[in-house]
Structure 1
């Protein structure tokens, strides 16, 4: 974790709404995630503001009274950034900036900023820049506030609109250039994937910060960057792994998140080719997170968007060492026992029933708990895929023997 004494964190406030489709619990959960995103980006959240609305205000997202409360707090505490949990329109962003007098971001902008910080390779940086340009294009009008004095009329006609159109043209041309660059790199990566031969491909997928990179490091004995922050890994990492004498390719992919910006899904689809072309998916889940089942739904939704839901998949429930059930008093006649009170054993029975006993594994990559069961299951699955592909090689890979590991 980053300590405040080491790095000066940017002061921020968070703003969210409670609506018919997003109750208080859901709003709190989204703001928890937004606070983690803010910390990852280098910010410190001083306060959260929420308001109950039928739907967000089309002009200022929240009501006039609430936004005045936000403005007063920002002024009194010298806050530099206001972050909204949902995507703002260009008009909303412009109106809110005038009222608050500070930097205004929405969730999409924040995620794009984190991706820009985390992008290490030329390919990742190109994809992030493409997403940023596509996000910026419809908001360019809001960027030209210094031209507002150009009201038009006799003696008042000026270059304002022309400059906006010029800027739009520059951004469109940049988008075209970036798309062409990504297309070229895609062809090169496709050739690289083709040169890997006929090895079985296994891909780690899952929500962000569930421990995919840690698991990758343990299994492949490599040093993929892993950190307790969102989107620690952007670039797909592929490693050759050998369990006993059976080799296969294991790839670690970018983590998913709810409300993932459309621009990022589109620009990173090519990165997710490793998922599309995988023979087996390992869906890693942080079982210690109170809303891990919603994380699973979010990942499955994005897998559907990239046509990868029909692949063989094993659910890998990670961080069992950190799992804690909510305490429950059986004598309490008011509080109903729900899933949040489930023990780890109850979750095992639940998911082994849902996806099949062999398709639900419970491990701790950090503490290396149950890793033998994990390796055996992966070995059996990869062996079956390999033998199906090359029937004459079946004698090369005998049944898994724990003593050999």
Structure 2
């Protein structure tokens, strides 16, 4: 019997905190880039490597955290990943040279994504139907503050201490998460349901997931939806400093409406759970996404970027993205109930790949003007909606393809006849 019982009030906070490690590891030390460049006697290009090595290892490990939890259990993978992250973060704080800093950033990238990926599997292991959607929405709501909060925390720490203490604060946060996980995180994947971890089996599992058209369409829709919002986030310096003519302390003009919209959308998802079908919930999300993207296109066609009109449509897009995301995620995980960890890993990898393309290719091209950004956001919205429409077209009676009303952790993967 599992002696660790999930606290219904604590579990959303814990899972959201675990998911926050990823964005906190990226954004928290942004304000310290200048001081770190000075201390290590490096340039801005070299400093960007601290992000590149982190994102690279994060991407690779995102394909492994889930299968590891399928094989060895959710709780252990999260706890030991936190220990690795703690060691790497302390190493970043004490790094004697830039090369050591890069090495420890690799360690952070290897471990930071476990909480987010395995946490999604935990939610679907333990809860079903309306309860799963509500908990996923609560986690999304709390997690939504991380991208906006992280740079503020870094700025506050930098105001009173050295940049090294930014990593010190991350280490303290990790200790808190590890202790809480140790005493309160339940094991939701018992030994009888675990699948062996080996390369051949892993490749077979990923092959089955990749061949499942419904899963891939749902995952693509979720990733592209976020891209419609991320194109603005990735262009934040150009938007705030160039288009809106604000200063470095006024980034909240962009991030607070964005995060506020995401949090409200996640709250709406939780409130609508059980009252609207999955199909109608996602449809409402797309109405908001298209409404925000269309309003942005209209306003940027009529006037120069200015606050609050430029940022208002972005918040509406964020609202729609967060409203649809919990339902899309649960529908995805239900495609492969026996290997939810692996399914969550594929979803995370696709989302990361989409964000990389949007941030590395689309954002630099679209950030030439507010109108270009609005067009890019609208185009991504159309692509995400097309994936959703295709999913509904190949899903018989889509209104009836709802979240499973009971836990299905012992069910097999999606049958071959349903994979097209």
TM over 0.5: no
TM-score by length of 1: 0.24
Structure with a larger share of its residues in helix: 2
TM-score by length of 2: 0.23
Name which structure has the greater RCO, CA cutoff 8 Å, separation 6+: 2
Larger-gyration structure (1/2): 1
Structure with a larger share of its residues in strand: 1
